[in-house]
Amino acid sequence: MAADRARGQYAKGVERKREILAQAYETLRVTGASGASLRAIGESIGVSHGMLTHYFGSREGLLVAVIREHDRVNEGRMPDSVSLVQRMRLSAEFNVQFPGMVSLFTEMLAKSVEPGDGPARVFFTERFARARTRLAVEIDGQLAALPEGRRAEASMLVDLIMAASDGLQVRWLLDPDVDVAATLGLLERLGQDR
């Protein structure tokens, strides 16, 4: 009986955390969280500071969870048969609809290079490793017909593509006239022309 009650409470806690994350995501993807304290974020979504701390540990933990949720939503809308570069372009088209999300991503990316092993550092290290692996597999398949010396360039090409995607989004925050998706589309076409 106690085990059933504990499972029920756990399930309620998981559901409550999911609800809070959904509220935070809907709010922060539009407004961003620049300079907002955990208390201010809680007030904006009608949740106490203590509850956010209970479920997410810290402001950084909450903001990383919001980025994960955005990635999940974005991934769910992607066609199955697109390359990773195409995904980056489609993601850029989606992201510019939510300036707060691009700002939040940039803020947490900057946080990830600070010393320590906080949630942002762990998240971005893992995220970049996954993307790099996927992109390297795609590019390696395309470069298989090239001479061995050119194939060594694949890892450098992967890093350039990823840097272009993230760098263009930062540029867009500073200058909304930058067309991130079109520029990534150009990068994709250049890659196909080699």
Give the model confidence (pLDDT) of 170-188 as tens digits.
Answer: 888 889 899 988 888 887 7
Q: How confident is the model at residue 169 (pLDDT cuts 50, 70, 90)?
A: confident
Q: How many structural domains comprise the chain?
A: 1
Tell me the three state secondary structure of residue 130.
helix
Q: What is the pTM of this model?
A: 0.82
Q: Are 30 and 89 in contact (CB under 8 A)?
A: no
Mean pLDDT of the chain: 84
Domain at 158, CATH number? 1.10.357.10
Q: Are 140 and 151 in contact (CB under 8 A)?
A: yes
* Average confidence (pLDDT) over 107-117: 92
Give the separation between CA 7 and CA 56, rounded to whole angstroms: 20
Locate 115 and state its tokens. Answer: 């010393």
Q: Which of 83, 89, 92, 75 is nearest to 192 (CA)?
A: 83
146 vs 97 pLDDT, higher one:
97
**pLDDT above 60 for 52:** yes
Task: Write the pLDDT tens digit of every residue in 153-165.
Answer: 666 777 888 888 8
Q: Using CA atoms in the order 128, 130, 136, 142, what is the torsion angle rounded to 10 degrees?
A: -120
Q: In which region does residue 36 sit, left (phi positive, over 0), alpha (psi from -120 to 50) or beta (all else)?
A: beta
* Average confidence (pLDDT) over 5-9: 64
CA atoms within 13 A on the CB side of 107: 21
Q: Which amino acid is at 120?
A: A
**pLDDT above 60 for 54:** yes
- State the residue range of the domain holding 108: 2-193
Q: Are 164 and 184 in contact (CB under 8 A)?
A: yes
